[in-house]
Structure formats: C-alpha cells, structure tokens
DNA sequence: TCGATGGTTCGGTATCGGCCGAAGCGTCCG
DNA sequence: CGGACGCTTCGGCCGATACCGAACCATCGA
C-alpha cells in the first residue's frame, strides 16, 4: 500500500460520523467500553463493534481486555493532535454564510474543556494570554518558549519536572478551534491540566470533555493568573 | 450543523482516494489546474471538477480564475498542517505486519521533499540534527526555540526577518512522517526552504514535491551545516 | 465569426459501506 | 449449572456517492 492510500484510509476512517463521534468521546484520554461508545454515537453495539475493530486494526485505537469488558482508548497523542488539527480546519473553513449554529451542549465545551492531555477553550486561551502578559511564556502561531520568569513560576507552582530535557522547550501552542487563538499544550499544558484537576480547580461536567471551574479554582486562577473565570461564559 | 458533524465532513472529504491524491499534489503550495489534478488522480476532468467544487465549497481550497484556466490551491497552511498530522498517524500506526512497501516513487519523497512552506524528509531531518548539534536550535517533540548562536547564524546566512515578532519563537518542530523524527517548520523552516531554492541548493524533481540537492547545494550544506547530502539516499 | 480548448453540469449506473436483526461466543454471578 | 451481560460475527437491506458519457458554457486564437 502506498503511503498516499494509507493517508486516505486514515482520513476516511475518521470521516464517518459515528466513528468521529466515538473518537471525540475518547479525546480526553479516557478509556470507554464498546457499549458506552455505541451509546454516545447513537448506534447499536454490534455496529459499534465493527467500527471499533476497524479503528483498532488501523492503529488509531488500542483495546484493553478486562474481564468481560473491553476498554477502548486512543492509540497515541498523535491521534489526538491529528483530530485537533482537523477541528482547526473545520473551524477556520466554516463557510461564513452558514452561522456557527452552536448547540447548548457546545457552549460548555467552548468555555472550558480538556483536549487529550491539556486544557482548551476560553479558559485555556485566557490562561495563555495571562501568562504571555506576565512575561512567563512567548507564543507565536508556530512555536512557544518558556522564559526565565516562566520557569520560576512553574517551579513555584510545583508544576513540571526540570530533570527531563530542556526546560525552555516546554510548551507548544495549539490553535484552539473554538477561540481561533493559541493555547498552551505540550508538557506545560499537560502539567497545568493535571495540576488543575489535582487541586480541585476544575471539575469534569458529567461525562463530557467539558469542565467547570470550581469556587476554589476561581480564586486560584484569579490569584495566580489574574483572570476572572466567572466572566468566561459570558464572553 | 454541530462542530462534530463538520469535523466528520472535513475528514470524509480528505478521505476519498481521488481527493487525497489531489490534495497531495497541492501540498507544496503550488496552484494547479483542474485538468492537471485530474491527471495526477487518474480520473476524468468532469469527476475532478466535482471534487474540486466540493473541496472549495468546504473551504479546504481556494480557486483563482485566470483566463480560461482556474488555478486551485490549498486554502491555508492549516490545511497543510492537518494533512501532515494525518500522515504522521498513518506512518505511526502502520501495522508492523504489513511492510512499508515503498514504491520507487516514494524513495525520492522520503529523501527530500517540500512540505507546503518548508522542507521535509531525510534532508530536513539531517539539517535539523546538524543545527541541534551546533547549538543553533533546541527541539523537543513539542516545541522548538532558536538560541543566541542560532540567531547569529540566521543573520549570517541572510535568513529571516528580525523586524517581525519575537526572534526566539521562530521555529516549529514538525514530525516527519517518513523519518518519524522532527524537522524544522515555522518561519525558520519556511525561510530555509525559500533560501535553498533561491540559491540553487535544491531543485524540484519533475513535477512532484520531491527535490534533489544540486552540486552547489551539496557544497553549501556541507560547508554551512556539516552534512554530506550525498549519503542521504543510501541511508 | 468560428473552431479549439479548459471547465462545468446533468443523468444514469454500479459499487461500497453503514446499519440492524439474529445468532453465537466468552465471562461473571447467583 | 443456568441465566444475565458484554461483545462479536453473519447475512441482508438500503442509502450515499464516485464515476463516466454526453451535452453545455466560457475563453482564447485565428
């Protein structure tokens, strides 16, 4: 098989609505069962089973057997990054004629959500902006770098692991499809997400990728980053 | 339309073999006519026309009318980045059972090729490695940054435009699907590609994205980067 | 004004693939 | 053991769509 055919194969797999729905459900890195995935996609378990077999065969997912359950998850962060880049194009190329048409469920997602191993949405963009303002990181559309002051800030918050690799190459900009502005990904974004859950700053909404900022989080984000998370939903 | 449906729509568009073939032909940023694209995809012009209309309607491509010709090109670098990330997954998830099966045409592509606005393949990875060795840039899988010495090197070669934005945030790592190692993209990669064509270091092979290193280029790459491009094809 | 050429639109055909019902495994629990 | 549960395989249906032939529109050169 030529590499071009394989390219089309991957894209075609991702391009089916039911499969896309499953992949989205797994986009925060959790592992779900076939029944759960069937449910979110609105199809029967046997149909879902077929889809999952194909996705796994193609190397987009991995499966863990556990008793009579089989847990499915994305095979790698590369798959998540690929999906993010497709969402980017989807948001960018939104024909200006047809309005965004955001359902109520999308509102929470646009405000704050997880994106595989980091945070996204208005909250993440606000955090990135705040860190840029304070001179902690520098971002362009292409790349990002942590400054000296940024490294100190990270250490203060107890984020990050200075032992591994270059400290400066520590963040990656990730174009946010809902905000169309870069937010923080990479090791820095990953640490920030982990930290925020750990300290109870954010909490998952139901079973989706959307998250909400707790009162404790509101205080923490104001104190450490100088942002008012209460205003995010409105903006 | 919900954002998830739009996600699937984009992926499905890219997932058709004929359309994928056209997109690949446009991946170096050139603009081609419908007939040319039909030819590379092995379909009739009228079929190609339908595909192109859909791709343009979806915002993946733009078209420029010029006399009786209509030149089609990728709508933005975001589309190219999306494709690159899909190729990444395609290469990574290559089931180990079925061998890579690289056709003779793929060999030239793997050695050196353009990737929208920068260089890719063994040549690009070798260049990135050389620049890391010399302490000109720092790269991780996630991010990249130009060092002080790197900035000086860029100025010496006449690359880059210091006037715009941060000088340090100047490069972006881009996982090479054929080498599975990062090469240089971003403004730095773009400048490097432009420079290499400009000075006659590399030349396009026929009408494909593949490029070959000229004798002049062999000397330049050895002199400035300390790499022997003659050995690339063998490795 | 007339071919010639590049491009698109239309209609009809054939294939592909997603979907579900029914039936067939394995695993857990009473 | 027997029933419940999770999941998969099989067979058949059906809608979506990629494809081409033919006809149609627009632009260029003579």
Instruction: List residues bridging with A183 in a β-sheet.
Output: A174
Nucleotides of C under 7 A from a protein CB: 5-10, 17-23, 26-28
Is A169 close to B144, i.e. CB distance below 8 A? yes
Q: Which residues of A touch B102 (CB under 8 A)?
A: 3
Band (B104; pLDDT cuts 50, 70, 90): low
Residue B234 scores a pLDDT above 60: no
Q: What is the pLDDT of residues B60-90, one digit of tens each?
A: 999 998 888 999 999 998 899 899 999 989 9
Closest nucleotide C1' to the C-alpha of A47: C19
Please tell me the pTM assigned to this model.
0.83
Q: What is the pLDDT of residues B182-205, one digit of tens each?
A: 888 877 888 889 899 999 999 988
A105 contacts B5 by C-beta, under 8 angstroms: no
Contacts A57 to B, Cβ<8 Å? 95
DSSP string across B157-226: HT-S-TTSS-SSS--EEEE-TTT-SEEEEHHHHHHHHHHHHHTTSEEE-TTSSBEEE-HHHHHHHHHHH-
Smallest CA-to-CA distance from B118 within B171, B165, B181, B168 is with B171
pLDDT along chain A (235 residues), means of 10: 89 98 92 94 96 96 90 93 92 59 68 88 91 83 73 76 53 73 82 90 87 94 90 64
Q: Is the Cβ pair B143, A143 closer than 8 Å?
A: yes
Mean predicted confidence (pLDDT) in B156-173: 60
> What is the band of B171 on the pLDDT scale with cuts at 50, 70, 90?
low
C-alpha distances (whole Å) from B144 to each of A171, B170, B173 are: 9, 8, 6
Higher-pLDDT residue of B161 and A154 is: A154
Distance measured from the CA of protein residue A39 to the C1' of nucleotide C24, in angstroms: 23
Residues in contact with A184: Cβ distance below 8 Å, sequence separation at least 6, in sequence order: A118, A119, A124, A127, A128, A131, A137, A139, A144, A171, A172, A173, A174, A192
Q: How much of chain B exceeds pLDDT 70, in percent?
A: 85
pLDDT greater than 90 at residue B9: yes
In this predicted structure, what is the pLDDT of residue B97?
Answer: 45
Predicted local confidence at residue A235, as pLDDT: 44
- Contacts A89 to B, Cβ<8 Å: 10, 59-60, 76, 78-79, 82
| Partner residues linked to B65 by β-bridges | B70
Lookup: nucleotide whose C1' is closest to A32 CA: D6
């Amino acid at each position: 098989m030529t590499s071009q055919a394989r390219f089309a194969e991957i894209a075609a797999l991702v391009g089916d609505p039911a499969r896309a729905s499953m992949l989205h459900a797994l986009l925060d890195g959790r592992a779900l069962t076939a029944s759960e995935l069937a449910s979110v996609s609105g199809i029967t378990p046997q149909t879902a089973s077929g889809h999952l077999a194909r996705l796994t065969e193609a190397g987009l997912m991995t499966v863990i057997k556990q008793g009579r359950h089989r847990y499915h998850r994305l095979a790698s962060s590369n798959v998540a990054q690929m999906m993010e880049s497709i969402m980017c194009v989807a948001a960018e190329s939104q024909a200006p004629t047809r309005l965004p048409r955001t359902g109520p469920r999308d509102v929470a997602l646009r405000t704050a959500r997880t994106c595989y191993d980091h945070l996204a949405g208005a909250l993440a963009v606000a955090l990135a902006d705040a860190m840029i303002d304070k001179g902690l990181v520098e971002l362009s559309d292409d790349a990002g770098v942590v400054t000296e002051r940024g490294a100190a800030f990270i250490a203060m918050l107890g984020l990050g692991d200075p032992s591994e690799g270059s400290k400066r190459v520590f963040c990656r900009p990730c174009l946010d499809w809902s905000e169309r502005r870069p937010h923080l990904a990479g090791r820095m974004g990953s640490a920030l997400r982990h930290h925020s859950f750990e300290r109870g700053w954010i909490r998952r909404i139901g079973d989706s990728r959307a998250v909400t900022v707790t009162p404790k989080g509101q205080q923490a984000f104001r104190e450490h980053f100088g942002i008012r998370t209460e205003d995010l939903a409105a903006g």
